[in-house]
Structure 1
Amino acid sequence: MLGTSYRGRRKGVAVRAGSVEQARREARLTLAQVAGGKLTRTAIHLIEKGRTRPSMETLQQIARQTHKPIEFFLNPDAPAALTEGQSQLRELERLTAVRDLDHVVEMGLTLLAQRWSAEDAAVIRLSVGQAYCRMVRPEEALEHLRIARPEFERLGDEWMAVEALDWESSALGLLDDPGALPLANRTLERCRRLGPGAAQIEARILGHIAGMYVVTQSWALAVRYYEEAVDVASGVKDLLQLAKMHHGLGVAYERMHQGGAARQHFDKALALYSMENDQASIWRVENDLGLLLMTQSQLDSAERHLLAALNRSTELNIERRGRGFTLVNLGDVMLQRGRLASAADYLAQALEVGEATGERIVQAEARVLLGQVEDRNGNASMVDEHFEIAIQILEELRMPDRLRDAHMEYAELLDARRDVIGASRHWKRAAVISKLSSLGMRWTATPPAERVASAGPTGAA
């Protein structure tokens, strides 16, 4: 049974079967529009399917949105009280709606220890998996989502199956799994077959796909999907989704060296996140603003924003994913300022965090910058070691744009070292990767034997 913190919730209202869905369809509204920003789309879906009963406040919200009298929904012949299980499911949905993630996981795991129908258990697992994704705990998310999705499919509930599939692809994306993007694209196809009422989930899927392109540094594709997501999200007036899309656009435009456009989108994202009091996302924008200012050589302002982001991550107890990027960026600022000891310290911390969390892109970025620090210190063998590992990681992650840049950065250092043969090899590889990428073809990783043979100051790969 649940602890005392989950007891004593108000009873729900018995509604006439099919009345909520009928009212919504007659009003030509999406689930998100009925929710009106006060509930989640899933909450309305569960009420429509009769899996939970609405509170009177929720029923009044539905009535206002659909322009129906309360009496339209009432079922006078049904018992008024929710069963204990229905009350628990409704409370879990409320916690999900307000993003009380720790309590979603706590309550969800407690509920799963009890007896439920397969359908209700799938709903609980979806809530838990979604919470784990938002907490950036993808392995634990997948444990639940991979059970929930096939159950929804077996029940013929395509809408909930698409919800679960979207979060599953997101969890794979957090793990840098190459299967994440193909799965997300299949999810988008299934979502669009649901019809125009699925605009909110479509916007979220588009945003997730765009985010995957950000990770692979395919900026033009990221912009394309983010802009499409903004168009879709604007129609459902979801402020948090809009904030995420503007945030993603800011990142993409910054990497495309369009600083003005990037700053505009970052400012919009900050304003929207602030309206929703999303402190974790404000932290991320602070980090990205710091990176933007760094690329514009505004190092004082960049350091200020990055330190604010680092301090905020400490306040939010963010010890896992995301913190490594802030540390990498601070290391880069210190490197540009010539403060090599501070740069090395931040980058060593970033590398440690990246290894602890499995964020291989953080490891690669830290290695590239550590290679530059060692070059300034005159330690050629460590330069080669750091770049060798970074390039191998980027090859395995299939990130052609970042891999090309790493080869070019290494080639510049080898040129300065007067290693003409080594530099030429990396310039050529960068050119080939760029050409293949433009043709939509994949770069074949450098054979390990060649990497070992070419390492070292006289013939670095």
Structure 2
Amino acid sequence: MAERDDPGIIGRRVQQLRTERGLTQKQLAEGAYTPAYVSTLEAGRVRPSEEALRHIAARLGVAYEELATGRPAHLATDLRLRLTDAQRTLATGGAEAAAEQYAVLLAEAEAHGLDDECATALLGLGECALESGDLVAGRLRFEQAEKRLADKPLPSRVPALRGRAVAHYLAGELRYACYLLESALDELNRTGLHDPSALVLLYGSVIGPYMDMGAHARAAQAAEFALALAPQVQDPALVARMHRSVARTLLAEGRVAEADASLGKAAELYRQLQISTELANCHWMRGYLHAQNGELERAENELREAQAILVDKRATLYTSQVVVELADVLHRRGKSEEAAGLLHDVLEDLSSERGAVHSAAAHRLLGIIAEDARDTETAEEHYVRAMSLLERAGAAGDLADLCRMLGDLLRRTGRVEAALNAYRTGLGHRTTPGTTTLGPAPAHPPL
């Protein structure tokens, strides 16, 4: 039986509708019930059966659902269709337009007490906020969605939890993002809630924080589990996202052809689905892949394609992150002046709370460019700023490499003791990679 309001509310609703239609209690009861029964029902002193409500609904000319819950007939179905439209707007259009749609739908769902639809709208608003770069608002929306779904099984709550973790990750809070994702994975696997879609979403999402923390072994294992579970997943967008994440671990292992193939699968799916932000992310990753492989012209073309898509979508934070990668390629191609200009512009949009890892990468590259120009003082300033950002984020692998670069700079300028301190700091981060500081790995899925 569908969820219904309490007898008092139903009674008042029946009385209002009967009065609006000019019917007496006797006329409403005709054919099956007595006027006394209708009077008792309207007073809220009896809980009407479904059969009684269906009879009264027919006499009043309204749908049973509307009489029992106060919601217009097919409201939930209509809302779900419009939520799908909003999702399409976000995928193919822009976050601002989608956010407007989601806000209207959220208000309607709240007005009629539709928690599932409220949660879906909140998830959409969270994704819009992430795309616009408003990480605090995004995190709040995902938290609100989790509260709406508090009574649901964990697999139903995973998209909201994952969204919250991504917001923390983008803010540079790598360890907490890992904690959220690993906790959910552990609970799903230990309690037997082996929902393939939920697991693939979590495994694909935890790869990025693992890689940035230097926990490459865990990233590789997460990719292995995601690939094994993917055939059981029906959502092509989720499969595409998984392939994009997995490509990063393949590239780290030197499996360039496999990484490129994985990105190719993802890009083709995103083209078919017309999901432009994720398609931009595929171009971004392909640019990174070509750069790592020394194919700098191809890398620049891919990254500029990603930048153009993201600028068109006004995805400011993602655009800034791509520009950092593009600047690196431009510098390596001898276009250091253009690269430095891009980086200075980007640093206005990045901070320790908003894209900390990429902000550190921008400072690191500006330091390298300054070193090339023999401006050691400016180079040191950028390296120290980058180290501060990476320490806050817990990006151990990048931090160790940066300590080495700073040490080399200090040694060349004759500050041997300071250089030794920088090297020691770097060695400390090398000997405590993320795999040993994250705690026990989450339980494995049954494969």
User: Fold-level match, TM-score > 0.5?
Assistant: yes
Counterpart of 2:84? 94
Counterpart of 1:267? 264
Counterpart of 2:343? 347
The CA distance in 2 between the partners of 1:163 and 1:311, in whole Å, is: 28
RCO comparison, higher one (Cα < 8 Å, 6+):
2
1:89–1:124 CA contact under 8 A, matched in 2: no
- Using the aligned pairs only, state the percent identity: 19
Shift of 1:91: 3.0
1:279 aligns with 2:276: yes
Q: Secondary structure at the match of 1:329?
A: helix
1:127 corresponds to which of 113, 116, 121: 121
Task: Name the stretch that deviates more: 99-108 or 363-372.
Answer: 99-108
Counterpart of 2:170? 174
The CA distance in 1 between the partners of 2:436 and 2:141, in whole Å, is: 35
Shift of 1:356: 9.9
Counterpart of 1:212? 209
1:351–1:366 CA contact under 8 A, matched in 2: yes
Counterpart of 2:309? 312
1:257-305 CA-partner distances (Å, limit 9, x unpaired): 4433322322222222223222222211212222222222222222222
Counterpart of 1:414? 410
2:420 corresponds to which of 414, 417, 424: 424
Task: Name the stretch that deviates more: 245-254 or 80-89.
Answer: 80-89
2:99 corresponds to which of 82, 100, 105: 105
Shift of 1:393: 1.0
Distance 1:308 1:220, change over 3 A: same
Shift of 1:170: 3.0
1:287–1:326 CA contact under 8 A, matched in 2: yes
Q: Secondary structure at the match of 2:195?
A: helix
TM-score norm. by structure 1 comes to 0.70
1:335–1:343 CA contact under 8 A, matched in 2: yes
1:231 corresponds to which of 216, 224, 228: 228
The CA distance in 2 between the partners of 1:417 and 1:172, in whole Å, is: 38
Instruction: Give the letter aligned to residue 280 of structure 2.
Output: W
1:129–1:140 CA contact under 8 A, matched in 2: no
Distance 1:87 1:249, change over 3 A: closer
1:5-404 matches, within 5 Å, as 79=64, 83=73, 85-95=75-85, 98=88, 100=90, 102=95, 105-113=99-107, 116=110, 120-121=114-115, 123-133=117-127, 136=130, 137-153=134-150, 155=151, 158-177=154-173, 178-192=175-189, 195=192, 198-318=195-315, 320-355=316-351, 358-404=354-400
2:214–2:397 CA contact under 8 A, matched in 1: yes
Aligned residues: 369
1:368–1:406 CA contact under 8 A, matched in 2: yes
Shift of 1:441: 4.2
Instruction: Give the letter aligned to residue 150 of structure 1.
Output: K
Shift of 1:237: 3.5
Give every structure 1 segment of 4 or more consecutive aligned residues whose post-TM-superposition deviation is greater than 6 Å: 75-78
Instruction: Give the letter aligned to residue 291 of structure 2.
Output: M
TM-score norm. by structure 2 comes to 0.72
1:216–1:398 CA contact under 8 A, matched in 2: yes
Counterpart of 2:432? 436
The CA distance in 2 between the partners of 1:306 and 1:156, in whole Å, is: 41
2:215–2:434 CA contact under 8 A, matched in 1: no
Instruction: Give the letter aligned to residue 276 of structure 1.
Output: L
Task: Name the stretch that deviates more: 202-211 or 168-177.
Answer: 168-177
Distance 1:265 1:409, change over 3 A: farther
1:104–1:128 CA contact under 8 A, matched in 2: no
Task: Name the stretch that deviates more: 423-432 or 120-129.
Answer: 120-129
Higher CA-based Rg: 2
Task: Name the stretch that deviates more: 117-126 or 386-395.
Answer: 117-126
Distance 1:337 1:419, change over 3 A: farther
Distance 1:227 1:355, change over 3 A: same
The CA distance in 2 between the partners of 1:337 and 1:397, in whole Å, is: 30
Q: Secondary structure at the match of 1:169?
A: helix
Q: Secondary structure at the match of 1:385?
A: helix
1:250–1:261 CA contact under 8 A, matched in 2: yes
Shift of 1:368: 0.6
1:162–1:191 CA contact under 8 A, matched in 2: no
1:232-279 CA-partner distances (Å, limit 9, x unpaired): 222123322222122112222323444333223222222222232222
Cα RMSD between the aligned structures?
A: 3.3
1:23-58 CA-partner distances (Å, limit 9, x unpaired): xxxxxxxxxxxxxxxxxxxxxxxxxxxxxxxxxxxx
Gaps of 5+ in 1: 1-15, 19-74, 443-461
